């Protein structure tokens, strides 16, 4: 492997560095998204049961302990449940927008690596061909095949290396984008459901837990 890298020329080191960065970014994002992707329906059902009992502090605590943007959005709605529907919706939407950059962190770099590694391979090919042409010009008309081998090796290896890095990088990038889109859809659904829940139950106007009736016998 090291011999192939050396035959590929100096461009190979840039391609190799790009591949290592791509692997680190992919696994970091994949594990992070895996942790943040929760079962939205089950989570909301649990929060609704707690809110129906009037335990707002407990609901906020559960949201803080649960990873992911869905829990953060629900927490925002609970914190602003006593506001108007429009203001509560606005705060929930702003909270969701703040979560998007966190989900997409470093994805731009991953996409960049997927785009530039084939170009780096092409650059290595051109450099290898130029090297071969220089040798032809210097040793013409007596040219041996071994004289051209170095440039041809560099041209072919760098091109192959660029494609080998770019193809899985693109695949990994698209996989992460798909997972992010799924999480965003869960965020939108959770935001709509929690706002509708508070509006339907009028939590921002009247408490859900009935107050205890005064003991009439005490007044007799």
What does the domain layout of the chain look like in residue ranges? 2-201
Give yes or no for residue 104 having a pLDDT over 80.
yes
Q: Could you read off the pLDDT of 23-79 as tens digits, one per residue?
A: 999 999 999 998 888 888 888 888 888 888 878 888 888 888 888 888 898 888 888
Higher pLDDT pick, 75 / 213: 75
pLDDT for the residue numbered 213: 43
pTM: 0.78
10 Å CB burial of residue 166 (0-12, 13-18, 19+) is buried
Q: 26: closest CA among 113, 116, 110?
A: 110
Cβ proximity of 50 and 197 under 8 Å: no
Higher pLDDT pick, 123 / 220: 123
Higher pLDDT pick, 216 / 190: 190
């Amino acid at each position: 492997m090291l011999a192939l890298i050396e035959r590929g020329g100096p461009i190979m080191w840039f391609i190799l560095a790009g591949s290592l960065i791509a692997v680190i970014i992919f696994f970091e994002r994949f594990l992070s998204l895996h942790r943040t992707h929760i079962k939205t329906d089950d989570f909301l059902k649990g929060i609704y049961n707690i809110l129906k009992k009037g335990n707002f502090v407990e609901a906020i605590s559960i949201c803080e302990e649960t990873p992911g943007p869905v829990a953060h959005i629900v927490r925002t709605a609970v914190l602003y449940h006593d506001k108007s529907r429009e203001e509560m919706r606005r705060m929930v939407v702003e909270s969701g927008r703040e979560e998007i950059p966190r989900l997409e962190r470093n994805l731009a770099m991953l996409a960049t690596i997927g785009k530039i590694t084939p170009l780096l391979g092409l650059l290595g090919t051109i450099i290898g061909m130029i090297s071969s042409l220089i040798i032809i010009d210097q040793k013409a008309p007596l040219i041996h095949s071994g004289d051209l081998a170095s440039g041809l090796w560099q041209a072919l290896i760098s091109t192959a290396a660029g494609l080998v890095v770019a193809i899985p990088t693109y695949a990994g990038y698209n996989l992460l984008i798909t997972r992010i889109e799924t999480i965003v859809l869960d965020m939108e659904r959770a935001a709509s459901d929690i706002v509708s829940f508070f509006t339907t139950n009028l939590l921002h106007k009247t408490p859900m837990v009935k107050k205890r009736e005064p003991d009439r016998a005490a007044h007799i």
